[in-house]
Structure 1
């Protein structure tokens, strides 16, 4: 689904790193192989949400490719699931909370073997797109068909909604030094709640965790090319100006976008 500014839309991001046992691990059963991780996502986690709940407008998964650090940390989240929902109010309603309260035994077992899990809920505060010249293909966003092949995520270290919106607009101005011809659109997320869990144990103060958020805004940029995303990250997010303090970013490559009941494109079983 491609959103337009003005829609009051919920946003959910789940960043995970499945546990990988080492040769020194005395309990190899604690490992979560990627095949098992993906099978659980594909056959249980995604269908419970997108196949049954109309509040889930779309969903897509991405794999981490690079980051602002020299290399991806060994225990950094390397899988990202993004969802847009009909309203941010859904996060306090039983249709959503029951998904976590009534986990299956299979899901409980998988969750115990996820080394790092970061959950971000929020509201889409603004969506901006640079002007299109007719040759650019904006694709289908986070829906099947032509999903955005690359997304760049990072925090926005501000504390004012209007200033955050102004910064987002600047990134989508083709005449600005911080813009990119590869940029499809940018989402400004006002974070409602974020938390970090390790091996199923919740962390009460996620800001003390290196993978927790430090600000109230999270940005998701969609890009048409990897090179365009990396150039944008280096010249825009590496700035030390007042509005663009240097932040850590991660570049993700699309893994899969999913059909859902809200889109009316589910295939019959």
Structure 2
């Protein structure tokens, strides 16, 4: 199986205070995964820096897409605590998307991506629906342009294999559940890199949706990294 990835876009909304939301995420939701499951290799949360909604994004590198069906993981949602169950019902949005890795430019010495030591501070995300075979052309463009930029750290592309949007702000019907086929994540050293011509050109290409910029809120230590006793960034 391919390496997996989990991205969760979320918005507290009017029925959940930011303090309650952060306490739940930091002290219950994240620890239940990163403190016990070796399959969760990294975990980090980002806040929106572009003024758009949703405001929050959580990302996790997963060892294998098979983990998404494993009982050690599925039971966490099936057996939510009363507190979590109540809070999730009141959120404006919880947009959970699972992926398999399609492309990775490789680790960089500039940052450790989503690990808690030297994590990437800024990411750009967007969705795109490639037809069969188009991903190869996109990869060639990335390797030929972005890889030469000083402020560029890493790029990964993920194929969506499952998704679910819940929350009081989510309309009923299948249309509201649609998401782009691929998620692209560009890691950069600073927001200023986004002004580079190669980046702005890539972000305005035909078919791109949901272009977002994010700043690191926190990268979490985890049992898979063997650093739970270490302070996170």
TM-score by length of 1: 0.78
Which residue, out of 187, 203, 212, partners 1:237? Answer: 203
Instruction: State the alpha-carbon separation in 2 of the partners of residues 248 and 168 from structure 1.
Output: 19
- Residue 253 of structure 1 is matched in structure 2 by 215
Instruction: State the alpha-carbon separation in 1 of the partners of residues 202 and 170 from structure 2.
Output: 36
What pairs with 1:166-177 in structure 2 (closer than 5 Å)?
166-173=137-144, 176=145
Secondary structure at 2:218's aligned position in 1?
A: strand
Contact 2:65 2:99 in 1 (8 A): yes
Structure 1 position 181, deviation (Å): 3.1
- Taking only aligned residues, the RMSD between alpha carbons, in angstroms, comes to 2.5
Contact 1:196 1:202 in 2 (8 A): no
Structure 1 position 156, deviation (Å): 1.9
Structure 1 position 201, deviation (Å): 7.5
- Residue 93 of structure 2 is matched in structure 1 by 116
C-alpha distance after superposition, 1:18-74 (max 9, x if no partner): 012xxxxxxxxxx211111111111100110000011101100000111xxxx52xx
Of 190-199 and 163-172, deviating more is 163-172
What pairs with 1:89-108 in structure 2 (closer than 5 Å)?
89-108=66-85
What pairs with 1:129-140 in structure 2 (closer than 5 Å)?
129=106, 137-140=109-112
Structure 1: tracts of 5 or more residues without a match = 1-6, 21-30
Q: How many pairs were matched up? A: 229
- Residue 59 of structure 1 is matched in structure 2 by 43
Secondary structure at 1:49's aligned position in 2?
A: helix
- Residue 8 of structure 2 is matched in structure 1 by 14
Q: 1:179 to 1:34 in 2, by over 3 A?
A: farther
The structure number with the bigger radius of gyration is 1
- Residue 27 of structure 2 is matched in structure 1 by 43
Structure 1 position 221, deviation (Å): 1.0
Instruction: State the alpha-carbon separation in 2 of the partners of residues 267 and 178 from structure 1.
Output: 35
Structure 1 position 261, deviation (Å): 0.4
Structure 1 position 113, deviation (Å): 1.9
Q: 1:60 to 1:203 in 2, by over 3 A?
A: farther
Structure 1 position 164, deviation (Å): 1.0
Instruction: State the alpha-carbon separation in 1 of the partners of residues 112 and 147 from structure 2.
Output: 24
- Residue 228 of structure 1 is matched in structure 2 by 193
Higher-helix-fraction structure: 2
Instruction: State the alpha-carbon separation in 2 of the partners of residues 115 and 177 from structure 1.
Output: 35
Structure 1 position 202, deviation (Å): 9.0
- Residue 266 of structure 1 is matched in structure 2 by 228
Q: 1:60 to 1:38 in 2, by over 3 A?
A: same
Structure 1 position 120, deviation (Å): 0.6
Secondary structure at 1:195's aligned position in 2?
A: strand
- Residue 4 of structure 1 is matched in structure 2 by none
Secondary structure at 1:184's aligned position in 2?
A: strand
- Residue 27 of structure 1 is matched in structure 2 by none
Structure 1 position 115, deviation (Å): 0.1
C-alpha distance after superposition, 1:140-193 (max 9, x if no partner): 110112111111111122122x421331342232xx389743221111101101
- Residue 23 of structure 1 is matched in structure 2 by none
Instruction: State the alpha-carbon separation in 1 of the partners of residues 195 and 94 from structure 2.
Output: 25
Contact 2:146 2:199 in 1 (8 A): no
